[in-house]
Amino acid sequence: MLISLEMANQLGLEVGDTLILNNPTAGNQQLYKIELTVGGIWVLKDPQCPYWNLYSAETLSAQSHYCL
């Protein structure tokens, strides 16, 4: 999975680490367990760029070359 640098720092994760997601158990039965491997960590080039605000798909497409 791809995670932000902020999340990686908060959880102490690095590329190649495994994160296990599961639900609270129902009695003695665990309903699901998902193992995810960190494949990459991303960092915003410009956190103030309008691209990161909520826009329509068309607006994002038009602005994406400025911020990524």
Per-residue DSSP letters for 53-68?
Answer: S---HHHHHHHHHHH-
Structural domain count of the chain: 1
Q: What's the pLDDT tens digit per position in 15-65?
A: 999 988 877 666 667 677 789 999 999 888 887 777 666 555 555 455 555
Both tokens of 32, joined, read: 């699901």
What's this model's pTM, rounded to 2 decimal places? 0.60
**What is the spatial distance between Cα 51 and Cα 55, in angstroms, rounded to a whole number?**
8
Note down the domain range covering 32: 2-67
